[in-house]
Structure 1
Amino acid sequence: MLSLLFTICMIWFVGKLFAFGLKASWGIMKLLCTVIFFPVILIGMVLGGLMYIAFPLLIVGGIIALAASHS
């Protein structure tokens, strides 16, 4: 009986840790994309001659950042 109770609690505990890990990794990935990947992609587009695409993306990103900071 104790073995069954231990097994159920262990499955619950591992499930909670798995969910926490997914939430943490999603937060880290959002941070990386916002701070590192997006600016590097925009700089690469400008250096590659795609200024007409990079500038509107920069404006849209700025508007979204401005709207997110006020809410």
Structure 2
Amino acid sequence: MLTVLFTICMIWFVGKFFIFGLKASWGIMKLLCMIIFFPVILIGMVVGGLMYIAFPLLIIGGIIGLVMSHS
């Protein structure tokens, strides 16, 4: 009986840490995308002559950023 209870508690404990790890990695990935990858992609588009794609993306990103910061 005690081992069954111990097993259930251990599964619950490991599950909680797994969910915490997923949330933490999602937050870190969002930060990396917004700080590093998105600006590098936009700069690469401008250097490569794709200004007509990079400029609308920059405007859309700015609008989304403004809306999210006021909510």
TM-score, length of structure 2 as denominator length: 0.96
CA RMSD of aligned residues (A): 0.6
Stretches of structure 1 lacking an aligned partner (at least 5 in a row): none
Does structure 1 residue 42 correspond to structure 2 residue 39?
Answer: no
TM-score, length of structure 1 as denominator length: 0.96
Task: Give every structure 1 segment of 4 or more consecutive aligned residues whose post-TM-superposition deviation is greater than 2 Å.
Answer: none
Counterpart of 2:63 in structure 1 is: 63
Does structure 1 residue 19 correspond to structure 2 residue 6?
Answer: no
Stretches of structure 2 lacking an aligned partner (at least 5 in a row): none
- Paired letter, 2:21: G
Tell me the number of residue pairs that the alignment of Structure 1 and Structure 2 aligns: 71
Counterpart of 1:10 in structure 2 is: 10
* Superimposed CA distance per residue, residues 8-55 of structure 1 (whole angstroms, 9 cap, x where no aligned partner): 100000011101100111111011101110000000000000001000
Seq. identity, %: 85
